[in-house]
Amino acid sequence: MAAIIDGKKISQEIKDELKGKVSALREKGIEVTLAVIQVGNDPASSVYVGNKKKACEYIGIRSLAYELSEETTQEELLKLVEELNNREDVNGILVQLPLPAHIQEEYIIKAITPIKDVDGFHPFNVGALSIGQKGFVSCTPAGVIELLKRSGISINGKECVIVGRSNIVGKPMGLLLLRENGTVTICHSKTKDLKEVTKRADILVVALGKPKFITKEFIKEGAVLVDVGIHRGEDNKLCGDVDFDDVIDKVSAITPVPGGVGPMTIAMLMHNCVESVRM
Ligand code: GUN
> What was the ipTM of the complex prediction?
0.94
**Same domain for 246 and 188:** yes
d(CA 128, CA 117): 13
Answer whether residue 269 shows pLDDT above 90. yes
Active-site annotation, residues: 52, 96, 119
Substitution candidate for ligand 1 out of 45, 168, 169, 269 with most atoms within 8 A of CB: 168
What's the structural domain count of the chain? 2
Measured in whole angstroms, the distance separating CA 7 from the mean position of its chain's CA atoms is 13
Supply the pLDDT for residue 279: 84
**Same domain for 174 and 91:** no
**Same domain for 255 and 187:** yes
151 is in an annotated binding site: no
Residue where a domain terminates, one of 116, 131, 148: 116
Atom of ligand 1 nearest to the CA of 138: 6
Residue 134 belongs to some domain of the structure: no
**Same domain for 143 and 258:** yes
Parallel, antiparallel, or unpaired: how do β-strands 92-95 and 62-68 relate?
unpaired
Residue 90 belongs to some domain of the structure: yes
d(CA 82, CA 61): 21
**Same domain for 147 and 111:** no
Pick the residue whose CA is nearest to atom 3 on ligand 1: 97
Q: How does residue 182 score in pLDDT terms, banded at 50, 70 and 90?
A: very high
164 is in an annotated binding site: yes
Residue 112 belongs to some domain of the structure: yes
What residues does ligand 1 touch, defined as CB less than 6 Å away? 94-97, 119, 139
Mean residue pLDDT of the chain comes to: 98
* pLDDT over 90, % of the chain: 98
**Same domain for 149 and 252:** yes
Buried-exposed string 192-207: b where 16+ CB fall within 10 A, e elsewhere: eebeebbbebbbbbbb
Pick the residue whose CA is nearest to atom 9 on ligand 1: 96
**Same domain for 100 and 164:** no
Supply the pLDDT for residue 233: 86
**Same domain for 102 and 185:** no
Pick the residue whose CA is nearest to atom 4 on ligand 1: 97
Residue 180 belongs to some domain of the structure: yes
**Same domain for 192 and 99:** no
d(CA 130, CA 98): 24
**Same domain for 107 and 216:** no
Atom of ligand 1 nearest to the CA of 265: 6
Residue 160 belongs to some domain of the structure: yes
At 98, which CATH number?
3.40.50.10860
Residue 3 belongs to some domain of the structure: no
Contact partners, residue 204, CB within 8 Å, separation at least 6: 160, 161, 162, 163, 198, 214, 218, 219, 223, 224, 225, 226
Residue 208 belongs to some domain of the structure: yes
112 is in an annotated binding site: no
Answer whether residue 244 shows pLDDT above 90. yes
Domain span holding position 203 = 139-262
At 146, which CATH number?
3.40.50.720
